[in-house]
Amino acid sequence: MGRMLIAEVVGTTGAMLAGGTAQAATLQGQDLGSLAGLAPLGVTVGNDAVALVQASDVVIDFTAPAVTVRLAALAAEAGKALVVGTTGLDPAQTAAIQAAARQAPIVWSANMSLGVNLLLGLVEQAAARLGPDYDIEVLEMHHRMKVDAPSGTALALGHAAAAGRQVPLDEVWVKSRDGHTGARASGTIGFATLRGGDVVGDHTVMFAGLGERVELGHKASDRRIYARGAVRAALWVKGRPPGLYGMKDVLGL
């Protein structure tokens, strides 16, 4: 995603690349433009997150949960805006982002695409309308390099379905199944995770009733949609008051 984000920032009117950090020693000092397959930009990879936050109006983060928590703290300290795409945060890490959003404007979304954010509303509506006689299952597939499961998007879809039913997701979720599970408990929301190849991101929410099944889904075929959404969020969040925002706010959905 880092490379995609560089290309998207450079190609977007009104946006300018202030810098970027990476972890790998081999990347330090390399030109960010060359890394992204563009002409050299004269801006190189660093490893100083404090300097990056100081140099930026908005920081875009697609990394790993521990990095996101640190960046959110730095953004809060400096009062700088942050866009977070990273998934797989645990409850304590989630609380840290929420706390940082009291001092800085933060857009946080498990999926920056327009299609998925539209789907979230449709799923909430379907869950509310179809009612408890329809069993809800969320199925997702991603590329073999993905490290967290279920995907952030699958969990967001689960939250949307739970909101439609007016129940907290963590009281009804079944994140995986194995062995003698017994019959499906009524009212639960199940998750199934597939990993393989170069799948960009497939999500399906099934509402399985007796005699029919409704399926709502989204298939991403180009990771650029995420970068495009993130840069749009960055332009939107600059200058906003502190708070935790979502793509729904950015897209006006």
Ligand X SMILES: O=C(O)C1=N[C@H](C(=O)O)C[C@H](O)C1
Ligand Y SMILES: NC(=O)C1=CN([C@@H]2O[C@H](COP(=O)(O)OP(=O)(O)OC[C@H]3O[C@@H](n4cnc5c(N)ncnc54)[C@H](OP(=O)(O)O)[C@@H]3O)[C@@H](O)[C@H]2O)C=CC1
Cα 11 to the center of its chain, rounded Å? 22
Q: What crossing angle do the helices spanning 114-130 and 152-165 adopt, rounded to 10°?
A: 30
Q: Beta strand pairing status for 135-142 and 201-208?
A: antiparallel
Q: Pattern 171-210, binding to ligand X, x per CB under 6 A? A: ------------------------------x---------
**Sequential DSSP letters for 145-214:** T--SSS-HHHHHHHHHHHHHHTS-HHHHEE----S---SPPTT-EEEEEEE-TT--EEEEEEEE-SS-EE
- 42 vs 197, beta carbon nearer ligand X: 197
For the CB of residue 135, give the shortest distance to ligand Y in the complex, in Å: 27
Query: Residue 8: is it exposed, middle or buried by C-beta count within 10 angstroms (0-12/13-18/19+)?
Result: buried
**Site for ligand Y (CB under 6 A): which residue of 112, 126, 138, 157?**
112
For position 117 contacting ligand Y by CB under 6 A, the verdict is no
Position 15, amino acid: A
- 154 vs 189, beta carbon nearer ligand Y: 154
- The reply, when asked if residue 21 is annotated as ligand binding, is no
- The reply, when asked if residue 109 is annotated as ligand binding, is yes
Beta bridge partners of 194: 141
Tell me which of ligand Y, ligand X, none is bound by residue 23, counting a contact when its beta carbon lies within the kind-specific cut-off of 5 to 8 angstroms: ligand Y
Tell me which of ligand X, ligand Y, none is bound by residue 167, counting a contact when its beta carbon lies within the kind-specific cut-off of 5 to 8 angstroms: none
- 177 vs 219, beta carbon nearer ligand X: 219
Q: Which run of H or E residues covers position 233?
A: helix 224-237
Q: Which stretch binds ligand X (CB under 6 A): 43-51, 94-102, 120-128, 148-156?
A: 148-156
For the CB of residue 203, give the shortest distance to ligand Y in the complex, in Å: 12
Cite the active site residues: 142, 146
**Interface residues toward ligand Y, by CB under 6 A:** 1-2, 21-24, 27, 62-64, 67, 85-88, 109-112, 152, 226
